[in-house]
């Protein structure tokens, strides 16, 4: 594993030095953003399938890094299912309670420090302490092995699992997202990749076409067909996932998913024609309930 890490570091440094030499030799400027395809900007996004793919290869994490980081955080909670997973659940709820992207960006450095601190603490717990100093084993009524495992305490009878691959992936994604929050405020990056400004919550969906700089898509090319699928059927695809989540297991938590699914299906596509503030409030409640279920399942496991 150490040789693999050294090999990857050497490979990265080689590529970086080669790019630096190539730019100096050809008198090229270093781009303000680390991208693969040069010359692809936000203006090329709607020119076809191939420019769209190139754009998202360049700026996928810039546009969807926050969502990717939250997905990785949920994956960490599902993989660990212990006391530190419960702490991650509380941190996830605290971040999502900010709702707006700008507000999340203000607390994101604290979330990164929280993730890094948990990793350091877990590493120290894996190193352990002398066996004679284990009060949870030497007490008159010692803790059971399952409780010790859930709290991730050092134990001479059953060592804690030292695998931090998912925690490291979460720290990596959250650190990259911290960098995105800083770079999206730079004018040069916004001109190249577009802005991440949220739409106003006071707008009426019927007047969206006044604020969208892209022409209407009516099956003019394959990219327009993809847009029709995403914007017309993705809502129903999400409802199918909610229904599957609610019917996979039979417990009190799944009842909330079924209620949410049937509520959205009752009103259908008319929900999307409501004011933006009303639509986002519904999805905020659904996301908040999902985070609550994740935390409760981890606590009751």
Instruction: Say if residue 81 is in the same domain as residue 177.
Output: yes
Instruction: Say if residue 50 is in the same domain as residue 186.
Output: yes
Instruction: Say if residue 188 is in the same domain as residue 51.
Output: yes
Instruction: Say if residue 184 is in the same domain as residue 48.
Output: yes
Specify if 215 maps to a domain: no
Specify if 205 maps to a domain: no
The total domain count for the chain is 3
Specify if 206 maps to a domain: no
pLDDT of residue 72: 92
Six-digit token pair at 248?
Answer: 């996979």
pLDDT of residue 137: 67
pLDDT of residue 170: 92
Instruction: Say if residue 50 is in the same domain as residue 127.
Output: yes
Specify if 160 maps to a domain: yes
Specify if 182 maps to a domain: yes
Instruction: Say if residue 96 is in the same domain as residue 124.
Output: yes
Full residue range of the structural domain in which residue 231 is found: 221-300
Specify if 116 maps to a domain: yes
pLDDT of residue 14: 92
Specify if 126 maps to a domain: yes
Instruction: Say if residue 89 is in the same domain as residue 187.
Output: yes
Query: In this structure, are residues 166 and 72 in contact, taking their beta carbons and an 8 Å threshold?
Result: yes
Instruction: Say if residue 190 is in the same domain as residue 51.
Output: yes
Which residues, given as ranges, of the chain have pLDDT below 50?
none
pLDDT of residue 201: 63
Mind listing the pLDDT tens digit for each residue in 231-288? 778 888 988 999 998 888 888 888 888 988 888 888 877 777 777 788 888 888 898 8
pLDDT of residue 108: 92
Instruction: Say if residue 166 is in the same domain as residue 67.
Output: yes
Instruction: Say if residue 104 is in the same domain as residue 147.
Output: yes
Specify if 209 maps to a domain: no
Instruction: Say if residue 162 is in the same domain as residue 226.
Output: no
pLDDT of residue 174: 93
Instruction: Say if residue 174 is in the same domain as residue 269.
Output: no
pLDDT of residue 117: 92
DSSP string, 145-182: HHHHHHTT---SSSPPP---HHHHHHHHHHHHHHHHHH
């Amino acid at each position: 594993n150490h040789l693999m890490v050294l090999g990857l570091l050497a490979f990265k440094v080689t590529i970086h030095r080669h790019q630096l030499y190539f730019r100096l030799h050809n008198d090229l400027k270093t781009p303000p953003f680390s991208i693969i395809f040069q010359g692809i900007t936000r203006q090329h996004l709607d020119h076809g399938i191939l420019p769209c793919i190139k754009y998202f290869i360049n700026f996928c994490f810039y546009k969807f890094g926050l969502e990717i980081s939250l997905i990785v955080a949920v994956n960490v909670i599902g993989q660990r299912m212990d006391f530190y997973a419960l702490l991650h659940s509380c941190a996830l709820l605290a971040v999502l309670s900010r709702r707006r992207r700008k507000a999340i960006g203000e607390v994101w450095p604290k979330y990164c420090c929280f993730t890094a601190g948990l990793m350091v603490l877990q590493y120290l717990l894996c190193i352990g302490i002398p066996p004679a100093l284990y009060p949870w084993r030497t007490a008159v009524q010692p803790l059971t092995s399952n409780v010790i495992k859930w709290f991730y305490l050092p134990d001479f009878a059953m060592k804690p699992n030292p695998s931090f691959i998912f925690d490291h992936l979460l720290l990596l994604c959250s650190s990259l997202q911290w960098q995105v929050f800083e770079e999206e405020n730079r004018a040069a990056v916004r001109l190249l990749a577009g802005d991440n400004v949220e739409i106003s919550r006071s707008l009426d969906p019927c007047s969206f076409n006044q604020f969208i700089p892209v022409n209407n898509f009516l099956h003019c090319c394959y990219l327009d067909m993809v847009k029709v699928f995403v914007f017309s059927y993705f809502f129903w695809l999400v409802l199918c996932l909610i229904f599957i989540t609610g019917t996979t297991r039979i417990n009190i938590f799944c009842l909330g998913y079924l209620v949410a699914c049937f509520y959205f299906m009752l009103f259908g596509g008319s929900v999307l024609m409501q004011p933006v503030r009303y639509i986002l409030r519904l999805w905020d409640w659904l996301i908040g309930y999902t985070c609550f279920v994740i935390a409760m399942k981890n606590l009751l496991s």
